[in-house]
């Protein structure tokens, strides 16, 4: 069975601190995609990154970076120098190559305190 | 270009009633998927439609049904509403399926349904 686990339910940090959101996934498929989404209070899911299972290269986009490690089935997300606008719920998600169903974790609610 | 639009944005229904939620995909997108997000949880897949055919169904009771129209818009119907159906219902569209899905999948802002 496929599963995504985000063990951190809620995190609070002070502005300008770095914060890492953990994600562990389970699948026996060899071809799959991993995603991170941001959900602000408005409710819309904002796409942040997609990574396929054959690309373990880490990625940096501005203050955001992602660490994909197949050996530990983890796809962690780090925000550097956090800002109040980063406050939101963040979801890690998994999609197998054999269908178009996205499997979401339960999300991590991130509070950035001024 | 307009994004994925969902209507209504909010509604309140009574237990036992029926509800219809609507989704208009991005122009040129032929696939629509529906997700249910209960408070405090991640979204859960309900249906995917592509070219007006059901392509996938999640683990939801038969009270949930959907359809896709020739203009690729979609409706999600829920019969005999229960309190537990209270959730944010998200629609997502993509140009196609498979690779077209993987690289072009956009969510709408959702319909917040409250059942009382």
Question: What confidence tier does A42 reach under pLDDT thresholds 50, 70, 90?
Answer: confident
Taking CA–CA distances from B36, the nearest residue in chain A reads: A104
Question: Count of CB atoms within 10 A of residue B9's CB?
Answer: 12
Nearest C-alpha neighbor of B21 from the set B81, B106, B105: B81
Q: Give the rounded percent of residues in chain A with a pLDDT score beyond 70.
A: 100
Q: What is the mean pLDDT of residues A86-112?
A: 95
Which residues of A are less than 8 Å from B48 in CB distance? 100-101
Cβ contact (<8 Å) for A43 and B33?
A: no
Cβ contact (<8 Å) for A100 and B55?
A: yes
Q: What is the mean pLDDT of residues A44-59?
A: 89
Q: Rounded to an integer, what distance in angstroms lies between the CA atom of residue B36 and that of residue B45?
A: 7
pLDDT at site A40:
92
Which residues of A are less than 8 Å from B98 in CB distance? 100
Domains of chain B (ranges; CATH) run 5-115 (2.60.40.10)
Task: Cite the DSSP H helix spans in chain B.
Answer: 99-102
pLDDT at site B96:
84
Q: How far is CA B20 from CA A60, A63, A68, A89, B78, in A?
A: 41, 41, 40, 27, 7
SS3 sequence of A7-20: CCCEEEEECCCCEE
Handedness of CA B27, B37, B99, A6 (dihedral sign): positive
Question: What confidence tier does A43 reach under pLDDT thresholds 50, 70, 90?
Answer: confident
Question: Count of CB atoms within 10 A of residue B97's CB?
Answer: 17
Question: What confidence tier does A59 reach under pLDDT thresholds 50, 70, 90?
Answer: confident
Q: Would you give the distance in Å from CA B47 to the centre of its chain? A: 7
Domains of chain A (ranges; CATH) run 3-113 (2.60.40.10)
Question: What confidence tier does A4 reach under pLDDT thresholds 50, 70, 90?
Answer: very high
Residues of chain B short of pLDDT 70, as ranges, are 1, 100-104
Q: What is the mean pLDDT of chain A?
A: 94
Name the most confidently modeled range: A44-53, A56-65, B38-47.
B38-47
pLDDT at site B111:
97
Angle at B43 between CA A97 and CA A88, to 5 degrees: 110
B36 interfaces chain A, CB cutoff of 8 Å? no
Q: Rounded to an integer, what distance in angstroms lies between the CA atom of residue B13 and that of residue B29?
A: 31
pLDDT at site B107:
93
């Amino acid at each position: 069975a496929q599963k995504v686990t985000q063990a951190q339910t809620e995190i609070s940090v002070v502005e300008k601190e770095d914060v890492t959101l953990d994600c562990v996934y389970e699948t026996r498929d060899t071809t799959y995609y991993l995603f991170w989404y941001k959900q602000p209070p408005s409710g819309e899911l904002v796409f942040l990154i997609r990574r396929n299972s054959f690309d373990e290269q880490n990625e940096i986009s501005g203050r955001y970076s992602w660490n994909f490690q197949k050996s530990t089935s983890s796809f962690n997300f780090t925000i550097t120098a956090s800002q109040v606008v980063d406050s939101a719920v963040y979801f890690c998600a998994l999609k197998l190559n054999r269908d178009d169903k996205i499997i979401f974790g339960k999300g991590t609610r991130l509070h950035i305190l001024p | 270009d307009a994004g994925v639009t969902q209507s209504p944005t909010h509604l309140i229904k009574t237990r036992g009633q029926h509800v219809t939620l609507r989704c208009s995909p991005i122009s040129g997108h032929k696939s629509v998927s529906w997700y249910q997000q209960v408070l405090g949880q991640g979204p859960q897949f309900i249906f995917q439609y592509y070219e007006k055919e059901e392509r996938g169904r999640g683990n939801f009771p038969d009270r949930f049904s959907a359809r896709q129209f020739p203009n690729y818009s979609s409706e999600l119907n829920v019969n005999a509403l229960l309190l537990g159906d209270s959730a944010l219902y998200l629609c997502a569209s993509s140009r196609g399926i498979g690779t077209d899905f993987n690289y072009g999948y956009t969510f709408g802002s959702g319909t917040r349904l409250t059942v009382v």
